[in-house]
Structure 1
């Protein structure tokens, strides 16, 4: 059987199963989202994956939220008030907030959640380090008293992507270390998680939270009135992109987190489909996560050899995207098109070269040691780029031990620090969005410097005082200058190697009304046209 015929048969079988499942449900048809990878981890603080973040936005809520313009607005909060010197911040919760177990949301819950998140996240750790005390004044009010200037209090509490400071009950936050997953999912968000129906890695089900109290203003990005209009929502997993495309076009699923690139021309001609137009901060940056703890990449020259081998144009071309959806020439670690875009030290990565990589390997004294690279074979976004990365590194002379697997399994290994012979790793191809990269304090190659908090483990001494200055700074122009200096140090020390920026749009059925085109799935406010 030819590959197209095999895919066609597989797609038909999958659609038959989906149709049968729908027919067996007399209730309203669920809103079905096809996520990029399967959901395995339900804890947004312990889990570093986007799919866990997407899950958490369904069941949890945030104190502060980013709107569609990138501005921060109160969400669970009624208000915040800084002191004149901005060294003390008072926060007041909205009235009537309630967790899914029926208990009220209190200031104690907010504070416990902030403290747990602050042990795990890059900007969260810096907020906690700058804090003298977090005081609870009453059931609805708490105060953050700073010990030193910190110009990013609201940005920290409103961080939109991994790791997001979601609020959970204090009894759970206080009892669970930030690197361990919570045993109980209890949020106050617009949807309720149906645990009995969860099939890890395959299907996750939710129902509308009838007790949710949305804000009165209109929904805007992650902010505003989150109105859960769909009675049921399902996250489903389809690893084969042809299945995703067939399920969407035939109406068996409603929304694809990422449109399969090969099908974009067809989707654009289909009047029953809408393609996301979100750009800027919602774009994606591919890269290679480097384990700085283990040889050989604890050697800076080895990291520079890796960086020299990565041709962003060739790697991004693996997706076959039209020119208006790629930015292979971007040399900004914050992503081009975002607030802190700059080209500091861009010349170091502007012209990749396999010959240069080979020369650097020789200079580093590389003796053909085995390098474990984990390949996320089930990710339609990461895997095509990963295959080009692997090919270029092999051609440059890196002795790669390619270990293919599903992303959920790789993510579990990625957060460990085991030696190679005990399941450790050297390199992991990954992707991040601008939500994760656009600010120095959350940027994967800058914000975690010398924190000993994430698996890649870089520590650049020269970056410390510049980061400290940025942390304390409130003036936008001065922040930009400091951000450029931080980029220079990140590129020179190869804390994280970029391999290309591109846009990967979502796509959904046109009968869905109220879809918020934000850059990742926002499933409140959606209803079907009658």
Structure 2
């Protein structure tokens, strides 16, 4: 009873703050996120939780459907010149921001420029661009200065960082590393800032100004029909509370099903477990701070990489058979378009003895290494514990600093030295949406860009990336992607520690749920 009272108190706190008269008649949809929401700007923040928030309130020019194909979203369509250097885009009618102003080509251009100063594939698109030319309130031209083979892939990028569209007055005035002062989007829901409790609860209501596309919802594409009047994002750090909440119907949707409870969930006919495909799989990795010693030296990074045993690290989750792929060595994730074995021999046989030998070769003198452990993340923490144990056994002198993910994310994007509140290592996770394209891959796409916290720079990778970006032939792109993977593994830009599935789970009474790999809240309604 005590656990139940605690759970109900957490869930009811936000609703009790409202007067009875203000309560909607329809029961809100309650989604439990993996971690708490602190940062509201999807360009400034690299966190999935911010991405999930942004899909509620913002919209994109292009969207990925359930088959991985890109389709117009805010756009009516586009035309391409014969030399593929001039791309003309036309906005569809009826687009308005939540403040009542129309969405214009000026807003789009300002948003893309801000995104392009932050995102890996966005930076390369902007670098290949001669100019943006606004020809009408609803039409603009992207004029390339040189070939760029992934224009639509870039505009339809589905995960961190997503090119969401904001008003020009905010996008133009705010550096990409700084959060915008207001949340003004043109998406299917409105953010209720006055009810927001950072890190705990986030509230939304249907956006009456939003005009969805006519075609059916499909992945992130199609008609984003907001069928629920009110949505709440709830944070429940305790895994047992999450399981109890979804089982009892006190919440409707868990972003990630607690792994220890999967067997019970599968036997519960009131629950539906997602079936994520290859690009929706998750991979663990260790973000390395290349700016500061000791990991500014390649032998130190190779020692770290040698200590990462995928089988042992993934075992920390206790996932059922068929939900892990410890043998996968591809930095793009196995089962995705650019999956490759190139360079895989280097990481196929991890060894603590080899890690110790590499530490001696690097001249490691027991320097303190700050590793940030996100204890509140049900997906990161089990893997982080094994990574920490293996690194200690290999001889790394770790200073383990435990905190919630939101706090760690703030430190992670900073540039302070480890001795002054910075960090050396951060265990993280990404999905195939983030990793499957070389230009957005966390260990490749940010090479020598100096705009992300890890700061790796491999000179040999730069010309290969440039050729890949300009290339439009699929076969040649595969070859270049394989070469980029080999360079990333050899230089240990972002070592990975295992691919796995982490499905969502939702109540069976929900209809129209889109199983995409991360929460898609539009199109959902409750069975009557």
TM-score (norm 1): 0.97
The answer to which of 481-490 and 17-26 deviates more is 17-26
Given that residues 203 and 234 in structure 1 are in contact (C-alpha distance below 8 angstroms), is that contact kept between their aligned partners in structure 2?
yes
Name the SS of the counterpart of 2:54 in structure 1. Answer: helix
- RMSD of the alignment, in Å? 1.1
Name the SS of the counterpart of 1:457 in structure 2. Answer: coil
For residues 60-459 of structure 1, what are the structure 2 equivalents within 5 Å? 60-459=58-457
Give the whole-Å Cα distance in 2 for the aligned partners of 1:80 and 1:339. 25
Give the whole-Å Cα distance in 1 for the aligned partners of 2:103 and 2:24. 35
For residues 464-475 of structure 1, what are the structure 2 equivalents within 5 Å? 464-475=462-473
Given that residues 81 and 90 in structure 1 are in contact (C-alpha distance below 8 angstroms), is that contact kept between their aligned partners in structure 2?
yes
Give the whole-Å Cα distance in 1 for the aligned partners of 2:9 and 2:96. 40
Give the whole-Å Cα distance in 2 for the aligned partners of 1:429 and 1:77. 38
| Alignment partner, residue 3 of structure 1 | none
Give the whole-Å Cα distance in 1 for the aligned partners of 2:13 and 2:288. 45
Name the SS of the counterpart of 1:91 in structure 2. Answer: strand
1:522 Cα deviation (Å)? 0.1
Name the SS of the counterpart of 1:402 in structure 2. Answer: strand
Give the whole-Å Cα distance in 2 for the aligned partners of 1:464 and 1:42. 32
Name the SS of the counterpart of 1:62 in structure 2. Answer: coil
1:27 Cα deviation (Å)? 2.5
Give the whole-Å Cα distance in 2 for the aligned partners of 1:300 and 1:101. 50
Give the whole-Å Cα distance in 2 for the aligned partners of 1:360 and 1:240. 39
Gaps (5+ residues) in structure 1?
1-7
Given that residues 169 and 186 in structure 1 are in contact (C-alpha distance below 8 angstroms), is that contact kept between their aligned partners in structure 2?
yes
Name the SS of the counterpart of 1:287 in structure 2. Answer: strand
Name the SS of the counterpart of 1:331 in structure 2. Answer: coil
Is 1:10 matched up with 2:17?
A: no
Give the whole-Å Cα distance in 1 for the aligned partners of 2:358 and 2:405. 31
Given that residues 287 and 498 in structure 1 are in contact (C-alpha distance below 8 angstroms), is that contact kept between their aligned partners in structure 2?
yes
| Alignment partner, residue 460 of structure 1 | 458
Give the whole-Å Cα distance in 1 for the aligned partners of 2:248 and 2:112. 44
1:192 Cα deviation (Å)? 0.4
| Alignment partner, residue 41 of structure 1 | 39
Given that residues 332 and 341 in structure 1 are in contact (C-alpha distance below 8 angstroms), is that contact kept between their aligned partners in structure 2?
yes
Give the whole-Å Cα distance in 2 for the aligned partners of 1:129 and 1:13. 52
1:15 Cα deviation (Å)? 2.8
Given that residues 14 and 195 in structure 2 are in contact (C-alpha distance below 8 angstroms), is that contact kept between their aligned partners in structure 1?
no
- Identify which of 35, 38, 52 aligns with 2:50: 52
1:453 Cα deviation (Å)? 0.9
Task: Mark the CA change 1:99 to 1:19 in structure 2 (over 3 Å): closer, same or farther.
Answer: closer
**Number of residue pairs aligned between Structure 1 and Structure 2:** 523
1:422 Cα deviation (Å)? 1.2
Task: Mark the CA change 1:373 to 1:17 in structure 2 (over 3 Å): closer, same or farther.
Answer: closer
| Alignment partner, residue 475 of structure 2 | 477
Task: Mark the CA change 1:17 to 1:389 in structure 2 (over 3 Å): closer, same or farther.
Answer: closer
1:22 Cα deviation (Å)? 6.2
Given that residues 313 and 500 in structure 1 are in contact (C-alpha distance below 8 angstroms), is that contact kept between their aligned partners in structure 2?
yes
Give the whole-Å Cα distance in 2 for the aligned partners of 1:73 and 1:309. 42
Deviation string for 1:284-314 (max 9, x for gaps)? 0000000000000000000000000000010
Task: Mark the CA change 1:328 to 1:304 in structure 2 (over 3 Å): closer, same or farther.
Answer: same
Given that residues 19 and 252 in structure 1 are in contact (C-alpha distance below 8 angstroms), is that contact kept between their aligned partners in structure 2?
no
| Alignment partner, residue 5 of structure 1 | none
- Identify which of 442, 462, 484 aligns with 1:486: 484
Name the SS of the counterpart of 2:285 in structure 1. Answer: strand
1:127 Cα deviation (Å)? 0.4
Give the whole-Å Cα distance in 1 for the aligned partners of 2:360 and 2:315. 29
Q: Displaced runs of 4+ in structure 1, greater than 6 A?
A: 20-24
Give the whole-Å Cα distance in 2 for the aligned partners of 1:468 and 1:26. 53
Given that residues 11 and 242 in structure 1 are in contact (C-alpha distance below 8 angstroms), is that contact kept between their aligned partners in structure 2?
no
Give the whole-Å Cα distance in 2 for the aligned partners of 1:121 and 1:307. 26
Name the SS of the counterpart of 1:236 in structure 2. Answer: strand
Give the whole-Å Cα distance in 2 for the aligned partners of 1:111 and 1:17. 42
Give the whole-Å Cα distance in 1 for the aligned partners of 2:99 and 2:446. 35
Give the whole-Å Cα distance in 2 for the aligned partners of 1:457 and 1:182. 24
1:10 Cα deviation (Å)? 3.0
Give the whole-Å Cα distance in 2 for the aligned partners of 1:138 and 1:106. 9
Given that residues 40 and 179 in structure 2 are in contact (C-alpha distance below 8 angstroms), is that contact kept between their aligned partners in structure 1?
yes
Give the whole-Å Cα distance in 1 for the aligned partners of 2:175 and 2:13. 42
